């Protein structure tokens, strides 16, 4: 049984509970600067857990195998590098860091000390997106020529560190990194160039633009679109559409089915007089918008099996680099090359 710690108990609370339920790990230490929040989480975990208000003390808890860093984004680099230096394996929440340069430092550190560094790009294990990936990989929709993904989430009731003017945490990197990661994950292609427009009409007291639309040029002449809005007046969605030469997938992480339109199905391209691509095949998927159980399970398995995590830090770093190019383009008005 692995002994794990968790730093930051907002979404980190879910990581801690998932670790306890996994049967693969025990949470032996937790950390939060908010002691009352930490005490509540400790009680939920059964009480037998050490509590620290300084993450440096948690990192030195005796016998720890690994740690989940679920603190605000701007702490990720320092906390992750220090944990790695102390020989711990790390699961770090997305975005891996706010800037690609910091990500590179974290990856170099993990390589240097020979420890696992996994990033919480959790959409890859959300059932709808995982099924979409399987369908793409089995060739059912043919060659992808266009993909679009969106992160639309009204932040009107969200306050705190995300809106800190000093931090300038851009929504494209903050939440939009999920959509950016999905377009890479589902196409299996690298975006090479980004062109974007953004505006700031919805969240006046936030420091960054709240709506961004980016077009992406991928390798192999694939094109894509990412839309990020943290001020839109609608329910949260990460609707993603994958267009292939033989079919189309419409999926998200909040609908209990994935829609598949195919040119040909079981050998016939016509059914009841209708073209198959006019028929929506709804494939049920279980609802788990943040499938943290699967993420935690993979983190434990890669430690025990001494293999690289399926969602390694490089994936998180590339997502951040693409986000930076999108933000740069919205500022310069020019297409921006994506540098990894
Ligand atoms: N995978 C996802 O979909 C997803 C969803 C939400 C948040 N996140 C990411 O998770 C991280 C945390 O976000 P959140 O929503 O939980 O934020 P939050 O503000 O709800 O919680 C953060 C917690 O960290 C604590 N904290 C702050 N500074 C700390 C420090 N120096 N040491 C220890 N604890 C500290 C705060 O007291 C708070 O309890 C961010 O990186 C965020 O981007 C990811």
pLDDT higher than 80, residue 11: yes
What domains can be seen in the chain, in order of their start residue?
2-121 (3.40.50.720), 124-290+320-337 (3.30.360.10)
The residue contributing the CA closest to ligand 1 atom 6 is: 11
- Percent share of the chain, pLDDT over 90: 91
- Helix, strand, coil percentages (3-state) for the chain, rounded to 5, are 35, 25, 35
Greater pLDDT, 263 or 155:
155
Question: Up-side HSE of residue 132: CA atoms within 13 Å toward CB?
Answer: 34
- In this prediction, residue 278 carries a pLDDT of 75
Note the pLDDT tens digit of each residue in 52-73: 999 999 999 999 999 999 999 9
Note the pLDDT tens digit of each residue in 281-298: 899 998 877 899 999 999
The residue contributing the CA closest to ligand 1 atom 33 is: 32
**How many angstroms separate the alpha carbon of residue 32 from the centre of ligand 1?**
10
In Å, what is the CA distance from 88 to each residue of 110, 250, 303?
Answer: 10, 39, 10
pLDDT higher than 70, residue 271: no
* Both tokens assigned to 157: 């009731």
Position in ligand 1 atom list of the atom nearest CA 34:
37
- In this prediction, residue 280 carries a pLDDT of 87
With cut-offs at 50, 70 and 90, classify the pLDDT of residue 328: very high
With cut-offs at 50, 70 and 90, classify the pLDDT of residue 269: low
Q: Which residues line ligand 1 (CB under 6 A)?
A: 7-11, 31-34, 37, 55, 70-73, 75, 93-94, 120, 122, 160-161, 174, 290
**How many angstroms separate the alpha carbon of residue 11 from the centre of ligand 1?**
6
DSSP bridge pairs for 151: 228
Calculated CA dihedral for residues 225, 226, 227, 228, nearest 10 degrees: -170
**How many angstroms separate the alpha carbon of residue 281 from the centre of ligand 1?**
38
pTM metric for this prediction: 0.96
Note the pLDDT tens digit of each residue in 177-215: 999 999 999 999 999 999 999 999 999 999 999 999 999
Q: Residue 91: in which H helix or E strand, if any?
A: strand 89-93
Q: Tokens 């990197």 — which residue?
A: 173
Position in ligand 1 atom list of the atom nearest CA 11:
16
Section 205-234 average pLDDT:
97
The pick from 17, 54, 72 for probing ligand 1's pocket by mutation, whose C-beta has the most ligand atoms within 8 angstroms, reads 72
**How many angstroms separate the alpha carbon of residue 71 from the centre of ligand 1?**
4
Helix intervals (H) in the chain? 12-22, 35-44, 55-59, 76-85, 100-113, 127-137, 171-174, 176-187, 292-304, 313-332
The residue contributing the CA closest to ligand 1 atom 41 is: 73
Position in ligand 1 atom list of the atom nearest CA 122:
1
In angstroms, the CA 233 to CA 228 distance is: 13
- In this prediction, residue 315 carries a pLDDT of 98
Section 1-23 average pLDDT:
97
**How many angstroms separate the alpha carbon of residue 265 from the centre of ligand 1?**
45
- In this prediction, residue 266 carries a pLDDT of 58
**Which of 103-107, 239-243, 245-249, 274-278 bottoms out in mean pLDDT, i.e. has the lowest?**
274-278
**How many angstroms separate the alpha carbon of residue 19 from the centre of ligand 1?**
17
Position in ligand 1 atom list of the atom nearest CA 162:
19
Diameter over CA atoms, the chain: 69
**How many angstroms separate the alpha carbon of residue 70 from the centre of ligand 1?**
5
pLDDT higher than 90, residue 4: yes
**How many angstroms separate the alpha carbon of residue 35 from the centre of ligand 1?**
14
- In this prediction, residue 290 carries a pLDDT of 81
In angstroms, the CA 178 to CA 24 distance is: 27
């Amino acid at each position: 049984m692995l002994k794990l710690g968790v730093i930051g108990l907002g979404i980190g609370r879910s990581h801690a509970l998932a670790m306890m339920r996994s049967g693969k790990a025990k949470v032996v230490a937790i950390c939060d600067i908010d002691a009352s929040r930490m005490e509540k989480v400790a009680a939920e975990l059964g009480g037998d857990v050490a509590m620290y208000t300084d993450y440096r003390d948690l990192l030195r808890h005796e016998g720890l195998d690994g740690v989940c860093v679920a603190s605000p984004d701007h702490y990720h680099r320092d906390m992750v590098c220090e944990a790695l230096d102390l020989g711990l394996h790390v699961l770090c929440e997305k975005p891996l860091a706010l800037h690609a340069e910091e990500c590179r430092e974290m990856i170099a550190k993990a390589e240097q000390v020979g420890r696992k560094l996994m990033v919480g790009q959790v959409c890859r294990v959300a059932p709808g997106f995982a099924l979409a990936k399987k369908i793409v990989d089995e060739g059912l929709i043919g060659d992808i020529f266009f993909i679009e993904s969106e992160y639309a989430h009204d932040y009107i009731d969200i306050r705190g560190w995300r809106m800190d003017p000093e931090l300038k945490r851009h929504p494209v990197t903050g939440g939009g990194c999920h959509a950016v990661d999905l377009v890479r994950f589902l196409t299996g292609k690298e975006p090479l160039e980004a062109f974007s427009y953004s505006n700031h009409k919805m969240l006046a007291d936030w420091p960054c633009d709240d709506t961004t639309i980016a077009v992406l040029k991928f390798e192999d002449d694939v094109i894509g679109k990412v839309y990020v809005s943290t001020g839109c007046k609608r329910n949260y969605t990460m609707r993603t559409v994958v267009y292939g030469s033989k079919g189309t997938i419409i999926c998200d992480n909040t609908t209990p089915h994935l829609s598949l339109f195919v040119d040909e199905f079981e050998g016939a391209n016509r059914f009841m007089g209708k073209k198959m691509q006019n028929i929506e095949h709804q494939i049920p998927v279980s609802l788990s918008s943040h499938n943290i159980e699967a993420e935690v399970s993979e983190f434990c398995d890669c430690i025990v099996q001494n293999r690289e995590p399926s969602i390694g830090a490089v994936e998180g770093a590339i997502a951040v680099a693409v986000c930076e190019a999108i933000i740069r383009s919205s500022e310069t008005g020019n297409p921006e090359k994506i540098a990894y």
